[in-house]
Structure 1
Amino acid sequence: MPDPSPIRIGPGQSTRTAQRTLAGKSSSLAGIRHGRGATLSPPDRFARHQSAPVDDGWDSLAEDEPAPRTELTFEPARTIITRNDSPDLGFDRSINAYRGCEHGCIYCFARPTHAWIGLSPGLDFETRLTCKPDAARLLERELSHPAYRVRPIALGTNTDPYQPVERQTGLTRAILMVLDRFSHPVSIVTKSAGVLRDRDVLAAMAARNLVRVSLSVTTLDTDLARRMEPRASTPARRLEAIAALTEAGIPASVLVAPMIPALNDHELEAILGAAAAAGACDAGYALLRLPLEVAPLFQDWLARHYPDRAHHVLQRIRAVRGGALNDSTFGRRGRGQGVHADLLAQRFARARRALGLTRGRSLDCTRFAPPPAPPDPQLSLF
């Protein structure tokens, strides 16, 4: 079996020498693969030509393909802060140093973004990643601009800032160190206990009320987690991370997301209770979203892993999405509509109050101060 570990990046390696050609497509037939979430790898929706597998008479379609290893590509970028004006998001700016996510969560709403670079939202999304090696330098430049006005920056809004490749690149840590020097507030969402590697920086920022961390916990069932989020930290490790962050004085909350009707929504109160016991100070939740290519990917995954309940789960999803599998309407996309969605919202509100998960607070934007620019070395000539 090929080594599934990500390609290592040397500290002195340049963007040019690390660049790889994003060419070729994965087979549209994938099936269940150990350590991978997607069971399909459909072509991107912008492709001019699409291919379909054909049996050549030699049982080629029945042959087991080798497990795909993770490839990492350097992506040149001109800016690093992404802005939005969505009325149902709690932030207006974010940073995503990675495109694609090795965690392989089958439900990830970010999967369709891989089509923008000509890759499949299926297996390519979790095996062919790109990163922005100049993220910290670009961030420092943007924060130093005289016209910049401070508001909290969100990390982990599209792909996880602590996915496995972060161990090699250290991009998230570099970003945090810039934010720390500028006294800039930041919120982090992750499914990885890897956030504890940056406990020192986060603790220093927390002492000035500049950071909060949300651990996304989708289920307490390790078997379901292994199938649904194959390379994310186990549920137990995420709860341990909440406890460790809290002990270090770093505000930690739990994000129960996504709640999937008839699959994991019955665990809502149990997850909130476990997080409260670990020391979480606040909580949030979101209902499953299935935009664009995510819908067929999720349906195929469900049919392969849980054939006995697949039809029922899809029917319940349609019940909270107005008869469809997805509703992108602002205000409804994260909460749904109808009786089942209303009941979920009531259950969450009641459990949150009862468990005291209401102690979150706003981050401090008044401390923001760009550090002095280094002296111009040319002046030393005079």
Structure 2
Amino acid sequence: MSLLPPRGRGTAHNPHNRFAPTRSEAEDDGWYQEETPQTRATEIRQERARTVITRNQSPDVGFDRSVNPYRGCEHGCVYCFARPSHAYWDLSPGLDFETRLIAKTNLASRLEEELQKPGYVPQPIALGINTDAYQPIEREQRLTRQALEILLRYKHPVHLITKGALILRDLDLLTQLAEQNLVSVAFSLTTLDDELKRIMEPRAASPKARLRAMRTLHEAGVPVSVMCAPMIPMINDMELEHLLEAARDAGARSAGYVLLRLPLEIAELFEQWLQAHFPERAAHVMSLIRQSRGGKDYDSRFGTRMRGEGHFADLLAQRFRLARRRFGLDGRQLDGLDCSRFAPPGAQLSLL
């Protein structure tokens, strides 16, 4: 099997998910033939979700609830921490994750039902955290736009993080939310190198497109920030300061970063990706990752999983602090959103 992925995809591999009851392996039968360029079409399934607001108690993230319109992500980022979640649908965290997608077609009605529940207490909803709310299928599905329309009508605060320039389609809604201090947008920016972006995040917007989108939102009054996530040793970590400076110039006023995380099936996929694209440095990259994770591919402990430990992790953290201070990127916008405006339409009728 070729190490290189199908055209426009992040991985060539489709490993069994950890819940699969059986496993099969392909064997070469000796019949040679020239390989034709691989392609893999995107399939979209529909889901009628029972709930759409997901709660979490993680101390490592700045929100306690999120809404994800889609399962799987066509952007195809090889390192995506959400890949293992595809196993719950009896699908592979590999190629299936970026080609066999699930759209929550009843998202709008479920979101309204949950916001109208008696006793609901508003806090910022993080929209599109597990997978990107502005991945390519959003052009047709429009589930993210439907969610924003509801949140605007309810005056509910929302935070978005994306790699998609498609967010500019919803500038009309975002500016109205921003006027009431109800929205912030973070752009995930991992590299300024188009070729590295192509193999690392094949169907995400180009670095220049993300920076243009950031600048457009900033000029329209929408608060924007940058997430340099993930930082990968010897692959893109050397760009950290340049990423922060470019984001500052595009209007970002706060910043964050995450050291590469390799939970569950992602570790195997990432090592295969390294062998396909960076075989000469693969061993060194994995050595630095393991040095930052207590000798393992991943350390899931709260407090360390986002930053790591050890010499490399400490140096990266120091570089980030110095650069953030130099470029004036020291705020956290999610904390400043206004929850006091929340007003479910028609709520006053319940008093009659």
1:38 paired residue number: 11
1:209 paired with 2:181, answer: yes
TM-score in terms of structure 1 length: 0.88
User: Aligned partner of 2:341: which letter?
Assistant: R
User: Aligned partner of 1:186: which letter?
Assistant: V
Q: Structure 2: how far apart are the matches of 1:142 and 1:29?
A: 46
Partner of 2:126, secondary structure, is: strand
1:319 paired with 2:291, answer: yes
Q: Deviations over 1:120-171 (max 9, x none)?
A: 1110000000010110111111101112111110012100000000000000
TM-score in terms of structure 2 length: 0.96
2:89 paired residue number: 117
1:51 paired residue number: 24
2:111 paired residue number: 139
The Cα of 1:80 is off from its aligned counterpart by 0.6
Pairing partner for 1:294 from 266, 278, 296: 266
The Cα of 1:29 is off from its aligned counterpart by 6.4
1:348 paired residue number: 320
| Contact 1:30 1:41 (8 Å CA) reproduced | no
1:264 paired with 2:236, answer: yes
1:369 paired with 2:332, answer: no
The Cα of 1:30 is off from its aligned counterpart by 6.2
The Cα of 1:232 is off from its aligned counterpart by 0.2
Q: Structure 1: how far apart are the matches of 2:38 and 2:269?
A: 20
1:231 paired with 2:203, answer: yes
**Structure 2 gap ranges (5+):** none
Number of residues of Structure 1 aligned to a counterpart in Structure 2: 348
1:165 paired residue number: 137
Partner of 2:297, secondary structure, is: coil
2:148 paired residue number: 176
Aligned Cα root-mean-square deviation (Å): 1.7
1:107 paired with 2:79, answer: yes
1:73 paired residue number: 45
1:283 paired with 2:283, answer: no
Partner of 1:285, secondary structure, is: strand
User: Aligned partner of 1:36: which letter?
Assistant: R
Q: Deviations over 1:154-195 (max 9, x none)?
A: 012100000000000000000000000000000001011111
The Cα of 1:87 is off from its aligned counterpart by 1.7
The Cα of 1:342 is off from its aligned counterpart by 1.1
Partner of 1:296, secondary structure, is: helix
Q: Structure 1: how far apart are the matches of 2:297 and 2:266?
A: 10
| Contact 1:219 1:271 (8 Å CA) reproduced | yes
Q: Structure 2: how far apart are the matches of 1:92 and 1:153?
A: 8
Rate the CA distance shift 1:183–1:262 in 2: closer, same or farther, 3 A: same
The Cα of 1:373 is off from its aligned counterpart by 6.1
| Contact 2:151 2:157 (8 Å CA) reproduced | yes
Partner of 1:267, secondary structure, is: helix
1:240 paired residue number: 212
1:330 paired residue number: 302
Q: Deviations over 1:32-79 (max 9, x none)?
A: 32100012111111111111002233237x744741100000011111
| Contact 1:103 1:231 (8 Å CA) reproduced | yes
Rate the CA distance shift 1:342–1:103 in 2: closer, same or farther, 3 A: same
The Cα of 1:297 is off from its aligned counterpart by 0.2
Percent identity among equivalent residues?
Answer: 57
User: Aligned partner of 1:55: which letter?
Assistant: D
Q: Structure 2: how far apart are the matches of 1:40 and 1:66?
A: 12
Question: Which structure is richer in relative contact order (CA contacts within 8 A, separation 6 or more)?
Answer: 2
Partner of 1:273, secondary structure, is: helix
Partner of 1:48, secondary structure, is: coil
